[in-house]
Structure 1
Amino acid sequence: MASNHQEHRIKGVHRVTKSRKNGPDRQYHYAFRGGPKFWDSSMAFDATDARYVSAYDAAMKAQRDMRIPAADSKSTSLALQRYRDSAEFNGLAPRTRDDYEKFLTSFEAEFGEDPLAMFQEREAIGEIREWRTKWKNSPRQYDYAGGAVTTFLNWCVDTDHALEFHHHKGQKKLYSSNRAQVIWMPEEIQMLLDEARPEEKAVVVAFSEGGLAPQDVGLLRRRHVQTTPKGRRLFFARKKTDNPVSLPVTEALGEVIDSLPEGQDLLVTSLTGKPLTALRASQIIRDLKIRHNKKVDDGLLKVRIRDELRPYDMRGTAATALLRADCSLNQIAVTMGWGLRHAANVIERYAALVPEVSDEVHRKLKKARKKVEKAERKAAKKEAKRGGA
């Protein structure tokens, strides 16, 4: 099934690879996560063929016909299907789209048969709030469920025009988190490295040197390593946002890359050599912290790694390292995979944690004061001369 033509990249397609004991891996493509399968690698055509697109279109039409009765043209289910087919929904980052789908599927099971117009009634807020109590023990999920519904209803008003208005706006959030001041200190990262076995060190390095998010650590492959005029870089797109990242290959990252076994494509794997999931990558860091602190509790070591530290907090550590290196806002944004506006907001919070920033401010203040004092002395001398005349 080899082809020189480029694969059709349809937004929203959910791709699954299943290993088989006897024979090559089998590829399955679904119209969306949880949707109908429209292609697999046993078929007579591949994903570069026009029949691939036709199969996708047929699956989507059948799904719409099956899920939405033609006579029920004003149902919430129909509006949800239009939203799922919309450019706005399919333009979301894959991770965001998957997260929204989880809550929208539950929302549809609860309200799908109801008329969409019910959400123009103020009483609907209470019904939505009652549905959200499924996640009452997880404030973050509770808030996310409400946010996904608000986004959908906004689309119904602003784009689909199926609603004139809705009341599910400005809902109070339960979850709040500001971890800008929680970053790993260099000595704490060294404690992890000292505790890590050889197969664990690559995970620590990937987190700490590049400030990678857990979902990105296991995605890095040899093709992401590129030669630059004065070294190497890792160039890839973040899974959550699809933003490009240009990460310099430091000495520590270089050692990880150069020590890869021959034939291994993934830069960082699980401890058994398999693809590394975001959950497992984070768990390896947590396990190292637990092992180190257990030795402190047993009197073998003196200094603990702070209990509140999380693997994701290493992104803040990487950002402050870039600040210390006097990198520009654009350089920090590209390296971290952030937009410029987001980078400016984040750096504004992290700047207070970098002592060198305070030193630089102090230096500039001293220089400014000396300039003012010099001007005042010069003015005093002039005034003295005038008085003497």
Structure 2
Amino acid sequence: MAAGLHIVSKRKAGRALRWYVYAWRGGPLIHKSEGTRPKITAALTDAAAEARKAGRETPARSSSNIAGLITAFRTAPEFQKLAQSTRTSHNTWLGRIEEEFGDTPLTVFEDRRVRADVLDWRDKWADKPRSADAAMQTFSRLLSWGYDRGKLTVNVVKGFGQLYDANRSDVIWNADDFARIAAAASVEVNEGVALAAFTGLRRGDLVELPWDAIGEHAIIWKTNKSRGRNLATIPLLPETKALLARIVERHAADMAGRPEAKRRPLPATVLANSRWQPWTATGFGSRFDDAKKAAGITKHLHDLRGTFVTRCCIAGLNDREISDIVGWHTKDVAAIRAKYADQARVVVAIGERLAKATIS
């Protein structure tokens, strides 16, 4: 490295080694090429000098960088009002953004060409599309906040397409999936999987569902989605009631076998870990991922929402009722019904007719 230049290389499958030259670490890109490492020429050092000069000519803007923007964003009311799970996710990616771009002056992010650098950074997680998309969502939210506060005149990363196909509404768990996770997971994780299949709740809401939200016929609860502004009304299926009864019975049996001094009351949340303490979303997710890997299952916890939709279809709810419960478009509910629920009804009906024929 010379003259303060920052030179990095990146290799992608099937392509020649690519070199990127930045005016300084975290500074703007001033040159890129393929093949051998670029030589430090007068043209490069002049370009770096021009970039630094441009920064000095706008001291109010060049005194701010991405790290400073992140610090301000984290303390802003717009960030603080987000749900805890959303803040946790954003904080993870804000840290990674700061690590990569923290020293970069905000003036650099006025230039649309920086999009290429951001895409190269995103592509570190190209093999994990959901992570790559989460990275870009956080980045865009940060820059949009900077735009709203007058620190930027444009959000240069706005409009990136998603890598992950988010519509998995027609993916459901089958009996084999449940059997495999049951064998690999703890009883506490299996209770969480069952509750997800019986309620359609997202992971963050799943681990925080309180007992006092359980009514005689339905779960009525302000979920974490939109900071509690969404009122969830979920019918209590027979399977849900049976699961809740098993959790209460398991707790009672466990406490009965302990000395009185070591007995714990039933937690306020329906789900609890092995110490009878409420799960965190991260803790449950980690234990679930371990069990899923051990069981060789590729489906996600989120796919249990489709499983719940199937149960609602079979229970007799119409598409509009189900879409109101899970927040899906009615066409996605109809797709589940056509692909799984109606098929299940046909199989059951055939079985009943065969049974009657055999008896007669």
Question: TM-score range with shorter-chain normalisation?
Answer: 0.5 to 0.7
SS in 2 for 1:102: helix
Distance 1:212 1:219, change over 3 A: same
Q: Does 1:246 align with 2:233?
A: yes
| Alpha-carbon distance, 1:83 to partner | 3.0
2:349 maps to 1:347? no
Alpha-carbon distance in structure 2 between the residues aligned to 1:111 and 1:250: 50
Aligned to 1:146: 136
Consecutive unaligned residues in structure 2, runs of 5 or more: 1-59, 253-264, 346-360
Q: Tell me if 1:236 matches 2:225.
A: no
Aligned to 1:286: 292
How many pairs align?
Answer: 267
Q: Distance in 2 between matches of 1:105 and 1:124?
A: 19
Unaligned runs of 5+ in 1: 1-69, 291-306, 360-389
Q: 1:100 to 1:358 in 2, by over 3 A?
A: same
The answer to whether the 8 Å contact 2:313/2:341 transfers is no
| Equivalent residue for 2:303, pick from 310, 313, 329 | 313
Asked if the contact 2:196–2:206 (Cα under 8 Å) also holds between the matched residues in 1, the reply is yes
Question: In the superposition, relative to structure 1, how do residues 314 and 132 fare at CA in structure 2: closer, same or farther (>3 Å)?
Answer: closer
Which residue is 1:275 aligned to?
A: 278
Q: Offset of 1:264 from its aligned partner?
A: 1.2
The 3-state SS of whatever aligns with 1:209 is helix
Preserved contact between residue 184 and residue 292 of structure 2 (Cα < 8 Å): no
1:285/1:135 CA distance change after superposition, 3 Å: closer
Does the 8 A contact of 1:217 with 1:281 survive in 2? no
How many angstroms apart in 2 are the aligned matches of 1:246 and 1:142?
33
**CA distance 1:72–1:225, shift in 2 (3 Å):** same
Name which of 170, 173, 181 aligns with 1:181. 170
CA distance in 2, matches of 1:343, 1:127: 36
CA distance in 1, matches of 2:294, 2:318: 33
Check 1:215–1:154 CA distance in 2 against 1; reply closer, same or farther (3 A cut): closer
Paired residue for 1:161?
A: 150
Per-residue CA deviation, residues 143-174 of structure 1 (Å, 9 max, x unaligned), is 321222122223333x2232222432333443
Say whether the 8 Å CA contact 1:211–1:314 is kept in structure 2.
yes
Counterpart position of 1:84: 74
Q: Which of residues 196, 199, 210 is equivalent to 1:221?
A: 210
2:13 corresponds in structure 1 to: none
Mapped partners of 1:216, 1:147: distance in 2: 21
Local SS of the residue matching 2:219: strand
CA contact 2:85–2:204 (8 Å) conserved in 1:
no
Does 1:115 pair with 2:105? Answer: yes
Paired amino acid for 2:234: L
TM-score, length-normalised on structure 2?
0.59
Q: Structure 1, residues 46-66: CA drift from partner, whole Å, max 9, x if none?
A: xxxxxxxxxxxxxxxxxxxxx
Cα distance in 2 for partners of 1:144, 1:116 equals: 22
Deviates more, 1:199-208 or 1:349-358: 349-358
Provide, for residues 7-36 of structure 1, a one-character-per-residue CA deviation record: whole Å limited to 9, x for no partner.
xxxxxxxxxxxxxxxxxxxxxxxxxxxxxx
Verify the 8 A CA contact 1:136 1:142 in the aligned structure 2.
Answer: yes
Equivalents in 2 of 1:75, 1:287: separation in Å? 41
Task: Tell me whether 1:103 sits opposite 2:103 in the alignment.
Answer: no
Q: Provide the rounded CA distance (Å) in 1 between the counterparts of 2:101 and 2:186.
A: 51
- SS in structure 1 opposite 2:201? coil
Secondary structure of the residue that 1:181 maps to in structure 2? coil
Paired residue type of 1:162: K
Q: Quote the offset at 1:316 in angstroms.
A: 0.1
Task: Give, in whole Å, the separation in 1 of the partners of 2:315 and 2:289.
Answer: 30
Identity %: 22
Question: How far does the alpha carbon of each residue in 1:156-204 deviate from its partner, in whole angstroms, 9 at most, with x for none?
Answer: 33x2232222432333443335423321246865787799987666344
User: Given the two structures, how large is their TM-score scaled by the length of structure 1?
Assistant: 0.55
SS at match of 2:221: strand
Distance in structure 1 (CA, Å) of the matches to 2:119 and 2:221: 40
**1:184–1:317 Cα contact (<8 Å) kept:** yes
Match of 1:206 among 195, 216, 224: 195
Deviations 1:45-92 (A, max 9, x none): xxxxxxxxxxxxxxxxxxxxxxxxx99754333433443344433343
Q: Answer 1 or 2: higher relative contact order, Cα 8 Å, separation at least 6.
A: 2
Cα distance in 2 for partners of 1:122, 1:196 equals 48
1:256 equivalent among 243, 246, 252: 243
Gap change, CA 1:134 and 1:209, over 3 Å in 2: same
**CA distance change for structure 1 residues 310 and 99 in 2, over 3 Å: closer, same or farther?**
closer
